[in-house]
Amino acid sequence: MLFWISVIAASIYVIGSVSAYLVNVNLKNQGFTGISTAEVLNPLKWISVFIGYFLKFVIPLHILEQYILRFYDPECRPDCMLVGRCKTCGCDSVCKAWSPMEECSKKNWPKIIWSKKEYEAFRKKFPVQIKIEYGNGIV
């Protein structure tokens, strides 16, 4: 029994490695840098990629964007998020921001809008620019 489990595991590894290698070669042929051979052969890398694909469907981009807006709101971040307590209502600001049913007591952000179409309409009505700046000023 253990022998067959080993054979199946080895087969999965070989099939996965060959598949990852072929995808990588295809990416390089398209002008991308691809990934190193060590990463192609690393099962942890495969798991990481699988988790990324899974999360892409579990947490849609329009939902993720709303959470980013909550945590990096220019009014809430310095006064509430970094302190951990809202200076207006006194709530645990980080917990409140994680809750999809809550909205900012200062009306800086609404409840999470689950519908992508509704969120797109909301963004047209209230345009937002997300800017990420690192310590050296490079965006």
Q: What is the mean pLDDT of residues 103-107?
A: 91
- Express each pLDDT in 40-50 by its tens digit: 888 888 888 88
Q: Is residue 139 part of a domain?
A: no
Question: What's the angle, vertex CA 128, arms to CA 82 and CA 126, rounded to 5?
Answer: 115
- Express each pLDDT in 70-101 by its tens digit: 999 888 888 899 998 988 889 999 999 999 99
Q: Is residue 132 part of a domain?
A: no
**pLDDT in the model for residue 60:** 94
Residue at a domain's end among 42, 58, 74: 58
Q: Is residue 11 part of a domain?
A: yes
**pLDDT in the model for residue 137:** 65
Segments forming the whole domain that contains residue 29: 2-58
pTM of the predicted model, to two decimals? 0.70
Q: Is residue 95 part of a domain?
A: yes
Higher local confidence (pLDDT), 118 or 131: 118
Q: Where are the alpha helices (DSSP H) in 30-131?
A: 37-40, 43-58, 61-71, 76, 93-98, 116-125
Whether 139 shows a pLDDT value over 70: the answer reads: no
Tally the domains of the chain.
2
**pLDDT in the model for residue 64:** 94
Q: What is the mean pLDDT of residues 52-68?
A: 92
**pLDDT in the model for residue 50:** 86
Residue at a domain's end among 21, 41, 58: 58
- Express each pLDDT in 3-30 by its tens digit: 888 888 888 888 888 888 888 888 889 9
Residue at a domain's end among 32, 58, 84: 58
| Angle, in degrees to the nearest 10, between helices 61-71 and 116-125 | 40
Q: Is residue 133 part of a domain?
A: no
